[in-house]
Amino acid sequence: MDSCKDISPLVTRVADDEAAGAERGRVEGHVGECAACRVQLHAEREARQLLQDRSAALIGHAPLGLRSRCAATRTPAAQPVRRPLPLLSRAGWPMALAATLVLAVAGSAFYGLVVNPAKAVAAQLALDHLKCFTLFEEPAGLSPADVQAELKARHGIDIVLPAGQAAEGLTLVGGRRCLYLDGSVAHLLYRKGAVQVSLFVLPIGERLGQTGLDVLGHSAVAFTKGGRTWVALARVPHAEMETIAAIFGADNN
């Protein structure tokens, strides 16, 4: 009789009805004599059958809106990129941003539009702002020091978080690494009363190109400190956004 060790790899194939002939005969002969392998074959068949029976329910449906959000990721980066334009593939630009802008510029040539790179970046940030505030629960008692330490330890993003905003009514409610721009952007989430405010910190050397602009119903204000460009963004009038950005920039500008 085959040893259990020899038979073991074949048991799965028999449970899956993938084995035939001599292979199947070896397993059937063995399990007729070996209780342990008989139980193993029974267990594999039962588990497999159960999962197959319930596969439709287990798969279920993706949450509402996920499909459209996934579809949105195809523009404009969905088209195959043969060769980036040299001007926009310069070193230092994150790859995702470069691809986005390359295709946006290529598209603009076709449609006769002129792309605004600052607005393209701000639009990405606005989308991330919406996504993060929509998807994630807000923890209580989040410490700026913890967020700062984790950004550095986990993602290599070394920044000094603004301090003292609490006195101005701004509360830190979350910190994440932005999935866009190859994950090199820190995304800090604040609340000012009912207003959701995002503060993005771009990698060293990157600029937004404009100090203030409106995009997708949100106002964005960029400022520089610590050698980085910071972008404050919220769905508020631009004048109010300027005031909020001044709070962030006030402590060590």
Q: Segment contacting another protein (CB under 8 A): 109-117, 142-150, 214-222, 223-231? A: 142-150
If you ran DSSP here, which 8-state letter would residue 38 be given? H
Q: Whose structure tokens read 């449609």? A: 111
- The residues that bridge with 199 in the sheet, in sequence order, are 188, 232
**Size of residue set near another protein by CB under 8 A:** 62
State the Cα–Cα distance between residues 66 and 214, nearest whole angstrom: 26
Strand 195-201 relative to strand 212-215, pairing: unpaired
Binding positions for another protein, 3-62, rule CB under 8 A = 8-9, 11-13, 15-16, 18, 40, 43-44, 46-62
**From 22, 35, 63, 110, residue interacting with another protein (rule: CB under 8 A):** 63
Instruction: Write the DSSP assignment of 190-218 as a string of letters.
Output: EEETTEEEEEEEPPTT---S-SEEEETTE
Q: Segment contacting another protein (CB under 8 A): 22-30, 72-80, 105-113, 215-223? A: 72-80
Q: Does the footprint of another protein cover residue 166 (CB under 8 A)?
A: no
The answer to whether 231 touches 125, Cβ cutoff 8 Å, is: yes
Q: Does the footprint of another protein cover residue 2 (CB under 8 A)?
A: no
Residues in contact with another protein by the rule CB under 8 A:
8-9, 11-13, 15-16, 18, 40, 43-44, 46-63, 66-67, 69-71, 73-74, 77-82, 96, 99, 135-139, 146-147, 150-151, 154-155, 173-177, 179, 183
